[in-house]
Amino acid sequence: MSRTRALAHARVRAAVAAALLAPLAACSSGGSSAAPAAKVTPSAADRPVAVTVTPTGKQVPAGRPVKVTAVNGTLTSVTVTDAKGGALAGKAASDGLTWVSDRNAVPGASYTVRTTTRTRGGTVKDTTSAFTTAPADKVNKVDWRPGAGTTVGVAQPVSLVFDRPVKNRAAVEKQLRITTSNNTEGSWGWVTDHTGKDRADWRPRTYFEPGTKVTLKAELNGTDSGTGGGWFVRDYTTAFTVGARQIARVDLDKHQLTFERDGTTVRRIPVSGGTPGGDKRSWRGTAVLMAKEGTINMNSETVGLGDAYDKMVNFSMRLTWSGMYAHAAPWNARYFGNANQSSGCIGMSNADATWFYAQVRPGDPFEITGQDTKGVVAPGNGFGAWNLSWEQWQQKSALR
């Protein structure tokens, strides 16, 4: 090829290269004709989970459950603990969107809420929040029978006496749980104690079966008693066992006490009941042995009788708060088995009282019959719930 022709071809290749490079240079320039860069956004599946805890803040009212809610994802773990390390248990909904504590937040406590969440895209995150509850302005307390670890008679109720008024009876009763070893049917009923205080008793439909094990769990911490009653700030529990089926059948007309154990008559004891025709008469119906008090001072002034007596009495077994006992009454020996001449109690000889006192236990029923009595033992006068029918007793529950 001649030199002239080679130069011509070189000029053509240069022109073509320039034509190809020109658009590339224009695209890389900073001029106003450049296209905007595309924005990168996270997918909806990876949006952060929003967690809401109720209650929140400081000095919030107690007595409400803790609720945790998740949006844009699910709750995989929720832990609520107080300043002492105690956990407030709860349950998550099947969809994982909410969690609610089983118990209420208690007064005067600090809580930390720790959650673990998962986005729809699988991202896991931990969050922590906290709140405090206002302290209780008033505190309600409970005294209960029977004591833990005791063995009692077949008629023994579970009895709770409240230190302050209980207006929110339904809310309180919901926190009272009785379990038995043989699924004994029973019901709570509200009565007025001899002190004038509110009282809740649980009795079975019929007498307990011997050997039954009974447990009370009163999960009251964080429950409001209502106006004037204040808050409960602790839980209570007790457990006891039912002993042999022992029944004292007292026939005041025949002046005789028949003591039975497991359906068999063990002993018949001549007695003298309350004097007919006045304030010294005995009560009838079913009374429950409340306590074996031994040797005590009995003074008629404490039970409103005008002709005062004041003496030490042996083998005293309390049957009512109003002052009816079974006890030794040697001063009335000539009346045992013959006439009712006591000041309302069931008297017997020293020998019979010594034996009988050793046999009976609190919770044993005394089924008392007689024509001339003060009337039937009231539910709050000792443990008189057995003098109501099962239907009548159930109506005394705040949950019916």
The 3-class SS string of 370-386 reads: CCCCCCECCCCCCCHHH
User: Averaged over 179-198, what is the pLDDT?
Assistant: 97
Which of these, 129, 114, 102, lies nearest to 221 by C-alpha position? Answer: 102
pLDDT score of 36 more than 60: no
Query: Would you kindly state where each structural domain of the chain is located, as residue ranges?
Result: 48-133, 142-243, 246-390
Query: What type of residue is 344?
Result: G
At 310 the pLDDT is 80
- pLDDT, tens only, 330-372: 999 999 999 999 999 999 999 999 999 999 999 999 999 999 9
Question: Which CATH code is given to the segment(s) 48-133?
Answer: 2.60.40.3780
CA distance readout (Å), 144 to 119, 141, 187, 193, 300: 50, 10, 16, 12, 28
Q: How is residue 126 written in tokens?
A: 């931990």
Question: Which CATH code is given to the segment(s) 246-390?
Answer: 2.40.440.10
- pLDDT, tens only, 53-62: 999 999 999 9
User: Averaged over 20-41, what is the pLDDT?
Assistant: 42
At 46 the pLDDT is 80
Q: Order across the sheet with 346-348: list the strands.
A: 291-299, 310-318, 325-328, 346-348
What band does 305 get if pLDDT is binned at 50, 70 and 90?
low
pLDDT score of 21 more than 60: no
Look at strands 365-369 and 285-288 and give their pairing: antiparallel
Length of the chain (residues)? 400
Residue with tokens 């709860």: 90
Which of these, 231, 208, 270, 259, lies nearest to 141 by C-alpha position? Answer: 231
pLDDT score of 25 more than 50: no
Contact 97, 75 (CB under 8 A): yes
Contact 111, 105 (CB under 8 A): yes
pLDDT score of 261 more than 70: yes
Please state, in angstroms and rounded to a whole number, the distance separating the CA atoms of residues 218 and 142: 10
Question: N- to C-terminal Cα distance for the chain?
Answer: 118
246-390 and 142-243 share a CATH fold: no
Question: What is the pTM assigned to this prediction?
Answer: 0.83
State the average pLDDT for the chain.
90
- pLDDT, tens only, 224-249: 999 999 999 999 999 999 999 999 99
- pLDDT, tens only, 93-123: 999 999 999 999 999 999 999 999 999 999 9
- pLDDT, tens only, 354-365: 999 999 999 999
- Taking the C-alpha atoms of 347, 353, 359 and 362 in order, what is their torsion angle to the nearest 10 degrees? 50
Residue 369 CA from chain centroid, whole number: 37
344 CB-contact burial (10 Å; exposed 0-12 / middle 13-18 / buried 19+): buried
Look at strands 151-152 and 158-162 and give their pairing: unpaired
What band does 303 get if pLDDT is binned at 50, 70 and 90?
low
At 316 the pLDDT is 98
Contact 66, 54 (CB under 8 A): yes
At 44 the pLDDT is 67
Contacts 24+ apart (CB under 8 A), 216-219: 216/144, 216/158, 216/176, 216/177, 216/178, 217/176, 217/177, 217/179, 218/142, 218/144, 218/160, 218/175, 218/176, 218/177, 219/103, 219/175, 219/177
Architecture, CATH, for domain 142-243 = Sandwich (2.60)
Contact 347, 271 (CB under 8 A): yes
pLDDT score of 19 more than 80: no
